[in-house]
Structure 1
């Protein structure tokens, strides 16, 4: 029987190392889509408890722009739970268009990346540990959002958005850190009008019994896709510059107010949405934030923030 070791957030320090590596791989073949850090101001950070003026979208419904086609099913192709079921996300159709790469510079000056999803015209959902260092409790110095990045390319370089403000669920100094490992970022342009945005759906844990192997997960993992492998040679920008998507994963339970899931993830996928298609509409039903490994380093289970934790924290605002 595998021995469980400590649960640990997939912090941006691992992603930072991977991010620097992939920049070196991709610079010669792709246009620069990272903004000049000197032209970006440090975002305002506000604890959710003090975000009196901040409001989530009232109805929590998704939005698909007119003229943007929708693709709910993917071609069947083959911390990782069992076999690796990720495939590269190469679609610019909705809802995949609304998912992007959160990149930034930490307080210590290191570059890193996570995953984020548009949930309104100018709001992006990700993890707290993608904007705050859980080990030092220091805030990120610069943050930006690159929508629907595929092989280090965006649809329009002008759509790379700067983060102006961050509402975070935890700064990792108190209790219930995993439960509150979420952040909503206010960006400087209404990308949701062009790329669409996903809805938020709070479902009871018991409801996921009827959704076994029906959920999607998308994340910009730092180990995927690897162009050294024959199937991924065309992804010349390297790992972390094309999202991996898994169709058919599950939420398998709940522990200490945190959901357990079996979607395939590694560092960089933090902040990635777990998506359910309900009445042909895409909803985020959980937010991936951490994984647990055996003493041999093999993935056992992954963890996700409940949507109710986000909504309850902001309901009084």
Structure 2
């Protein structure tokens, strides 16, 4: 459910070659999707969908911007959001409604893409009831990968909303200002998709897809930082936060592109 497409120029990654086979593999069958059932589609009040991933029996990780209305800028009532774990061809391994939702306190939704917006674009959803299904195993999280590390993304998106697709041959192109710049492709619906590392052959979530972009003519995706923000979100839920409030999203009051405060060297241009 990307609402903004950006063009980004990063001098440090200009001319990066993407020789690896980065094609998407659709996980259509039970064998294909085995082990990935904790990735699910988030149906958002009949207005669209995002991708989310289970990191505990009752916690789903996704992008913060998925919880905002693109026209009004107001936060969407999370009670209208349903998590369809392992959704594939009309069926899910589990269906759960959202009880509470917390967005990173430094996230700003204003329709523009900036370094601040991307690195804090993370939300945590608490489900009404935990998923206690032996086929739906929550993923562990891990530290951000280094430049050059192999990563993968499992997501739903436009024209592939009925089954997840996996891209497991992407790379981290750069890490700047708390963001990951990745060679993985992304499209509408991929927002909130988990980014996996594969150290020791075990998939662990290391980021969340926030936006799509272009670098030197190559389609890439931008991912959030995760370690610190995730701890903040878990603490907020533990303190009882996350009840729905109809208050509008806060306005941008931090990075202005082109000022000395922007340390990423990025120029964000709304398409």
TM-score computed with the length of structure 1 as normaliser: 0.60
Of 205, 208, 228, the match for 1:284 = 205
Match of 2:44 in 1: 104
Match of 2:119 in 1: 179
Question: What is the CA deviation profile of residues 223-268 of structure 1, one whole-angstrom value per residue up to 9, with x for unaligned ones?
Answer: 33xxxxxxxxxxxxxxx11111112111110233211001121100
Q: Is the 8 A contact 2:22 2:168 kept in 1?
A: no
Of 44, 57, 73, the match for 1:137 = 73
Q: Is the 8 A contact 1:101 1:114 kept in 2?
A: yes
Q: List structure 1 segments (4+ residues) > 6 angstroms apart after TM superposition.
A: 81-84
Unaligned runs of 5+ residues in structure 1 are 1-8, 13-80, 225-239
Name the CA shift for 1:168/1:197 in 2 (closer, same or farther; >3 Å). same
SS of residue paired to 1:185: strand
Of 200, 203, 208, the match for 2:141 = 200
Match of 1:117 in 2: 53
Match of 1:302 in 2: 221
1:216 aligns with 2:142: no
Question: What is the CA deviation profile of residues 70-114 of structure 1, one whole-angstrom value per residue up to 9, with x for unaligned ones?
Answer: xxxxxxxxxxx8986111113545530110000112xxxx52001
Q: For 2:206 and 2:29, how far apart are their aligned partners in 1?
A: 21
Unaligned runs of 5+ residues in structure 2 are 5-17, 237-271
Question: How many residues get paired?
Answer: 212
Match of 1:160 in 2: 95
Q: Is the 8 A contact 2:172 2:183 kept in 1?
A: yes
Q: For 2:39 and 2:62, how far apart are their aligned partners in 1?
A: 10
Q: For 2:47 and 2:189, how far apart are their aligned partners in 1?
A: 12
Structure number with higher strand proportion: 2
SS of residue paired to 2:207: strand
1:248 aligns with 2:169: yes
Match of 1:127 in 2: 63
Question: What is the CA deviation profile of residues 192-241 of structure 1, one whole-angstrom value per residue up to 9, with x for unaligned ones?
Answer: 543011011013x5x343x2xx32211101133xxxxxxxxxxxxxxx11
Q: Is the 8 A contact 1:145 1:163 kept in 2?
A: yes
Once superposed, what is the RMSD of the aligned Cα atoms? 2.8
Question: What is the CA deviation profile of residues 1-60 of structure 1, one whole-angstrom value per residue up to 9, with x for unaligned ones?
Answer: xxxxxxxx8139xxxxxxxxxxxxxxxxxxxxxxxxxxxxxxxxxxxxxxxxxxxxxxxx
Q: Is the 8 A contact 1:126 1:270 kept in 2?
A: yes
Displacement of 1:273 in angstroms is 0.8
Q: For 1:136 and 1:111, how far apart are their aligned partners in 2?
A: 13
Displacement of 1:276 in angstroms is 1.5
Question: What is the CA deviation profile of residues 119-168 of structure 1, one whole-angstrom value per residue up to 9, with x for unaligned ones?
Answer: 0010000111111235532122310100101112224xxx2100111011
Name the CA shift for 1:311/1:154 in 2 (closer, same or farther; >3 Å). closer
